[in-house]
């Protein structure tokens, strides 16, 4: 234990800390930072007031203390709730299982609890109360009626990942374990084994892709553009360090060369070592891997490409990618590097009813100012907790010149294996039929994305070290 941790823990009863056997009991990853939460309990002799959940968090190697009341000062001790004999009852809306439902719980062994302003270190048994209809009843802050036989509740995950999606919105899911972590000069990297989504890659505490549904995102990003092209042979990927976009491109029989250009060598090395699903792509002789800024690389090259794909991180205010969503980048860098009849496609951020105006409509309108034909489409990606958007653009007609049946024929003829997991002709056409709210926003959008008037996806607020230098 570090000296700073030892100094912090001195304020707590020893039984209020996670056990040495399970150092992450009651812990969370909040925006990529490990949070260890300890229930602050009082005894008759004083100490930290009950009702103040104290959090010890590590950020950039520093330990900080925060209370659940948003202050550095613990909340005043609330009046205790009377308990029925032999049973500890939680105050209203606060249950020991972390839920708003009083699931019956049985605990064994020494336990520390901050329930009703008391501290218990003996064997505590928390049971639900039920009335004659089998339902828990509550009156004036107390639970009443007969005690039912003890039932052990299912065990909840003790380790959680949390990502801020907005000022007052947080996305959270249970973790099994932390598989790998790394740090580059651009961002923090983590590979997590999660309960609902399998292996998950996060960068700077933000979800990038999940094993259970990454193929939905990557099929939607890659295949519409390649299928709409008459016969793509050369592909340039801006970003895409995890290798999934290259994997999907290499499914096309006509493709002869895929250039994947990512600025972060550590991410590429990390993903090639730990994401087994993309091993074949990284080993393909058709893949040319370049570590460079995508804008600089496209400017440097003299060759042109049939398709250019923007598989970039979201435009965050402190991130390295937001300039690659600008009108200047599309007009002066991307378009000159496309072959005649070439196609550009980019991921365009959240496209849900409540989130589409963050950047989706702006990116669409910006591409309309550069290309003749522009199509926006979307799909639900469960691990992103939202509908996601993409925009494809060209100076040649796109969807209007091709039927759903023709797209299906191209999939059979061009794709290795003759089919995709998510996309087919009808699905692709359906993805372009956006709901009325989003359609009207696209039609009415006037903003053009420039470096001086950039819009951003909500970030978690942590400024990467690289942005401070």
Check the CA dihedral 233-239-244-245 and report its sign. Answer: negative
Token output for 365: 């309108």
Determine which one of 293, 306, 311, 386 is catalytic.
311
Distances in Å between the alpha carbon of 401 and those of 83, 182, 243, 379, 410? Answer: 72, 46, 31, 22, 14
Token output for 312: 């970039």
> What span, in angstroms and rounded, lies between the C-alpha atoms of 174 and 94?
20
- CB–CB of 89/152 below 8 Å? no
- What per-residue string of b and e applies to 408-428 under the rule 16 or more CB within 10 Å gives b? bebbeebbeeeebebbbbeeb
> What span, in angstroms and rounded, lies between the C-alpha atoms of 31 and 190?
11
- CB–CB of 38/56 below 8 Å? yes
Element (H, E) at 180: strand 169-183
Residue of 324, 308, 24 whose CA lies nearest to 157: 24
Dihedral in degrees, nearest 10, Cα atoms 81, 85, 88, 89: -50
- Residue 311 annotated in active site: yes
Q: Beta partners for 207?
A: 202
DSSP string for residues in 1-65: --HHHHHHHTTS-GGGSPPTT-TTTTEEEETTEEEEEEE---BTTB-SPTT-EEEEEEETTEEEE
- CB–CB of 306/237 below 8 Å? no
- CB–CB of 310/346 below 8 Å? yes
Dihedral in degrees, nearest 10, Cα atoms 405, 409, 411, 413: 180
Token output for 458: 């909500």
Dihedral in degrees, nearest 10, Cα atoms 355, 359, 365, 371: -130
- CB–CB of 114/50 below 8 Å? yes
Show which residues are catalytic.
Answer: 311
């Amino acid at each position: 234990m570090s000296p700073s941790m030892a100094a912090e823990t001195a304020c707590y009863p020893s039984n209020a800390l996670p056990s040495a056997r399970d150092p992450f009991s009651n812990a969370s990853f909040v925006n990529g930072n490990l949070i260890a939460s300890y229930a602050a309990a009082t005894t008759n002799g004083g100490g930290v007031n009950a009702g103040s959940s104290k959090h010890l968090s590590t950020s950039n190697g520093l330990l900080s203390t925060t209370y659940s009341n948003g202050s550095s000062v613990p909340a005043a001790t609330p009046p205790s709730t009377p308990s029925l004999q032999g049973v500890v009852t939680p105050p209203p809306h606060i249950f020991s299982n972390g839920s708003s439902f009083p699931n019956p719980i049985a605990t064994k062994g020494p336990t520390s609890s901050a329930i009703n302003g008391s501290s218990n270190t003996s064997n505590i048994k928390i049971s639900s109360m039920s009335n004659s209809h089998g339902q828990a009843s509550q009156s004036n802050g107390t639970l009443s009626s007969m005690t039912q036989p003890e039932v052990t509740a299912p065990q909840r995950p003790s380790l959680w990942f949390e990502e801020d999606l907005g000022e007052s919105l947080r996305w959270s899911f249970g973790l099994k374990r932390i598989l790998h972590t790394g740090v580059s000069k651009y961002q923090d990297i983590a590979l997590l084994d999660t309960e609902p989504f399998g292996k998950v890659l996060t960068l700077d505490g933000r979800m990038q892709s999940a094993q259970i549904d990454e193929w939905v995102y990557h099929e939607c990003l890659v295949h519409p553009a390649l299928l709409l092209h008459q016969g793509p042979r050369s592909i340039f990927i801006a970003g895409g360090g995890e290798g999934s976009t290259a994997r999907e491109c290499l499914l096309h029989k006509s493709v002869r060369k895929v250039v994947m250009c990512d600025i972060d060598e550590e991410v590429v090395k990390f993903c090639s070592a730990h994401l087994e699903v993309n091993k074949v792509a990284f080993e393909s002789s058709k893949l040319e891997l370049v570590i460079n800024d995508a804008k600089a690389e496209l400017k440097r090259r003299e060759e042109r490409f049939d398709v250019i794909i923007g598989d970039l991180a979201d435009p965050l205010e402190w991130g390295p990618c937001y300039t690659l969503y600008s009108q200047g980048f599309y007009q002066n860098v991307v378009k000159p590097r496309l072959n005649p009849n070439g196609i550009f496609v980019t991921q365009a951020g959240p496209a849900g009813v409540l989130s589409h105006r963050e950047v989706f409509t702006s990116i669409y309108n910006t591409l309309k100012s550069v290309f003749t034909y522009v199509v926006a489409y979307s799909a639900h990606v469960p691990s992103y907790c939202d509908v996601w958007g993409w925009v494809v653009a060209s100076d040649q007609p796109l969807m209007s010149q091709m039927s759903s049946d023709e797209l299906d024929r191209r999939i059979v003829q061009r794709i290795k294996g003759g089919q995709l997991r998510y996309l087919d002709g009808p699905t692709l056409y359906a993805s372009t039929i956006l709901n009325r709210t989003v359609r009207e926003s696209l039609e009415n959008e006037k903003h053009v994305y420039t470096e001086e008037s950039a819009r951003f996806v909500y970030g978690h607020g942590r400024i990467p070290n690289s942005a401070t230098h």
